[in-house]
Amino acid sequence: MTSGEHHHFGPEPGPWHAPGGSPVPPAAPPAVGPPPPGAALRSLAVGLLNLSGLGLGYALMGRWYRAALCWAATGGLLLAALPAEPDGVPAGIVVSFLVVLVLTAADGAWTARRSAVGGSWRPLVAAALGLVLLGVPAGGAVVYGSERDEAVQQMLLDRLEKGDRAVAAAAKQSSFAGGRVKYRTALDIYRELGEDHSGSRAGKLVPSRLKAYYKAVSAPYEAKDHCQAVEPLTHLRTVPDSVDAKLLGSLAAWPDEPLAESLYGCGVSKIGDGSDTNDASDGGELGELLRTLPDSAQAKQVGPAVTGKMDEQVKAVRGGEPCAATEVLRRIGATVAAMPDRTVAALSAKADDGVQDGVYACGVDEFKDKKFTEARETLSGFADTYKKDGRRQHARDIVIAAEIAEDRPSAGKRLPPRQGPGGPRMELVLSNDAPNAVEILYTGPVSGSVELKGCGSCKRYSASDGPKLACRASGKRYPKVTLRLPAGEYHFLYKHGTGASADVDSYASGSRVQSGYTYTSCTYVTTESDAAPGLDLPSIPDAIKPASTG
């Protein structure tokens, strides 16, 4: 005999009436034949009760195993759904649970056609209760939706807090470059919250967070550190490219004025100082100001500021450090020439004039400071560059004196005069009895240089024969040149050429030219390294006979 089935012997008894006349349903439907009366209402009641997900339809019929399955399905759903997460319950779980509800409702309705509702529950009451209990899953869905919305709100607030932490961490860096990544992260968070979740609690806080963001990024400007402020303010000026201008409000245009002020302040403070960021190829910060914010009040101040800086250095050229002032002027001129504003760029001509005066003053100063090699290089460059300058000849005289002074420091005691003295001049005849050419530099009351060609038929002498035989061969024509020199103390440098006598050392000497005399000098080469040519001037006056060679 199976559970739920009853076997009767004899005639089928009729319905039993409880006291009061109400019929009592049988304990179980008949095994065969049409469903007992009230089957449709029972099916409806059990089906509705099972749709609540609580398995109450099975419980009323005494089907506890099936009721337990309903409870397990509902418990599994609750475990998966609670606590509520922003992403909600996975769709697969929801669909599976709905399928279970539908199946249990259908199964319960079919089973209830031939099963009685247990206890004192009547089908009509059970059906009404089923309708009421349908509100359980619906209400649960509403409550869960509310919890899920709160979870989403909390998630967005957590993201907002993450952006705030990123800004705080970036603000602690010593430079904007060090905090750039964190600033970028925070801005991306604020943009997403403000644009994609504007109605959320976090989204409504974004405008105040953006103000704090701008304040943190522009901190160097607030501290009046203009050079450090340029990069972060430039970044802020690009924020409207990635964030909705409506979200930024007045912040969108705010960086223009601070950036113009910082570019101007930094550019003026650095112009001419040789800073790596003050790149002459683009005009540095001042060039950036003229390109980026040409209509700003600060852009209109660039020309006067540059002129003032130039005037300072032009004045400094005439001071105690002309070389340093010249370098500053040179850098200012290169920077100004790269300015995008033609009026400002034209000011580089003034810097060029200052550099021209500065190079000359620098060479003179180096000579006075006994920096003879540097003076030679500086003034040689001046003479080669500024060929129409009236000081070119004097610069070349100083170059000659400096070169002699490198070997003979006494030649650098004083600058060569800009003009030679008046009065009589004495002849000095220079002859070359050496197989190589020789250049002779001289400085004194006048400075200059001459070059004597090599004597092709001449040879080297021994140290003892040189003074006796040089320039004395009868009938030989020696290369020679005549100088006319005013009286005074002179310094000479004999520079031998290359080729046959490339190993001959240069030689410096000094002599005094007196009024009323004629002088001769012969240069020759000896085989001994300690013997050198020179100028042999007599100590006893002899206005007719030339001085002896030496």
Least confident of 149-163, 362-376, 478-492, 510-524: 149-163
Q: Measured between alpha carbons, how far is 336 from 549 in angstroms, rounded to an integer?
A: 60
Which pLDDT does position 57 carry in this prediction?
A: 62
Which pLDDT does position 107 carry in this prediction?
A: 60
Which pLDDT does position 91 carry in this prediction?
A: 62
CA angle 368, 371, 375 (to 5 degrees): 80
Residue length of the chain? 550
Residue type, 214: Y
CA distances (Å), 80 to each of 77, 97, 137, 154, 449, in order? 5, 11, 15, 20, 104
- What is the band of 34 on the pLDDT scale with cuts at 50, 70, 90? low
Which pLDDT does position 196 carry in this prediction?
A: 87
Whether pLDDT at 397 is above 70: yes
Q: Which residue has the higher pLDDT, 345 or 94?
A: 345
φ/ψ of residue 519, rounded to 5: -125, 150
**Cα four-point dihedral sign 94, 100, 104, 105:** positive
Which pLDDT does position 13 carry in this prediction?
A: 42
Question: What is the per-residue pLDDT across 496-533, written as a single tens digit (0 to 9) for each?
Answer: 764 434 445 566 777 888 988 899 888 888 875 444 44
Question: What is the per-residue pLDDT across 63-120, written as a single tens digit (0 to 9) for each?
Answer: 676 667 777 766 666 665 555 455 445 666 566 666 666 666 666 656 666 665 554 4
- What is the band of 17 on the pLDDT scale with cuts at 50, 70, 90? very low
- What is the band of 25 on the pLDDT scale with cuts at 50, 70, 90? low
Whether pLDDT at 9 is above 80: no
Average pLDDT of the residues of the chain: 78
Q: Which residue has the higher pLDDT, 498 or 145?
A: 145
Least confident of 119-123, 393-397, 512-516, 541-545: 541-545
Q: Which residue has the higher pLDDT, 542 or 460?
A: 460
Which pLDDT does position 41 carry in this prediction?
A: 56
Which pLDDT does position 272 carry in this prediction?
A: 84
Which pLDDT does position 457 carry in this prediction?
A: 87
Q: What is the DSSP letter of 526?
A: B
Whether pLDDT at 299 is above 90: yes
Q: Measured between alpha carbons, how far is 402 from 379 in angstroms, rounded to an integer?
A: 10
Whether pLDDT at 3 is above 60: no
Which pLDDT does position 473 carry in this prediction?
A: 86
- What is the band of 371 on the pLDDT scale with cuts at 50, 70, 90? very high
Which pLDDT does position 205 carry in this prediction?
A: 92
Q: Measured between alpha carbons, how far is 457 from 352 in angstroms, rounded to an integer?
A: 52
Question: What is the per-residue pLDDT across 462-481, written as a single tens digit (0 to 9) for each?
Answer: 888 888 888 988 888 999 99
Question: What is the per-residue pLDDT across 126-136, written as a single tens digit (0 to 9) for each?
Answer: 555 555 555 55
Name the burial class of residue 291, with classes exposed (0-12), middle (13-18) and buried (19+) by CB atoms within 10 angstroms of its CB.
middle
Whether pLDDT at 4 is above 50: no
Q: Measured between alpha carbons, how far is 497 from 35 in angstroms, rounded to an integer?
A: 137
HEC-encoded secondary structure of 426-488:
EEEEEEEECCCCEEEEEECCCCEEEEECCCCCCCCECCCCHHHHCCCCCCCCCCEEEEEECCE
Whether pLDDT at 546 is above 50: no
Which pLDDT does position 476 carry in this prediction?
A: 87
Which pLDDT does position 501 carry in this prediction?
A: 40
DSSP string over 255-316? THHHHHHHHHHHHHHHTTS--TTS-TTTTHHHHHHHHH-TTSTTGGGHHHHHHHHHHHHHHH
Residue % of the chain over a pLDDT of 90: 45
- What is the band of 144 on the pLDDT scale with cuts at 50, 70, 90? low
**Cα four-point dihedral sign 459, 460, 462, 465:** positive
Q: Which residue has the higher pLDDT, 302 or 83?
A: 302
Question: What is the per-residue pLDDT across 209-265, written as a single tens digit (0 to 9) for each?
Answer: 999 999 999 999 999 999 999 999 999 999 999 999 889 999 999 999 999 999 999
Which pLDDT does position 310 carry in this prediction?
A: 92
**Nearby residues of 130 by Cβ (< 8 Å), 6 or more positions away:** 44, 45, 46, 47, 48, 49, 51, 52, 56, 57
Q: Which residue has the higher pLDDT, 345 or 143?
A: 345
- What is the average pLDDT across 394-418? 94
Nearest to 108 by CA among 52, 43, 53: 43
Question: What is the per-residue pLDDT across 414-443, written as a single tens digit (0 to 9) for each?
Answer: 999 998 888 899 999 999 998 888 999 999
Question: What is the per-residue pLDDT across 167-186, written as a single tens digit (0 to 9) for each?
Answer: 999 999 989 999 999 999 99
Rounded to 10°, the helix 302-317/256-270 angle is 10
- The model carries a pTM of 0.66
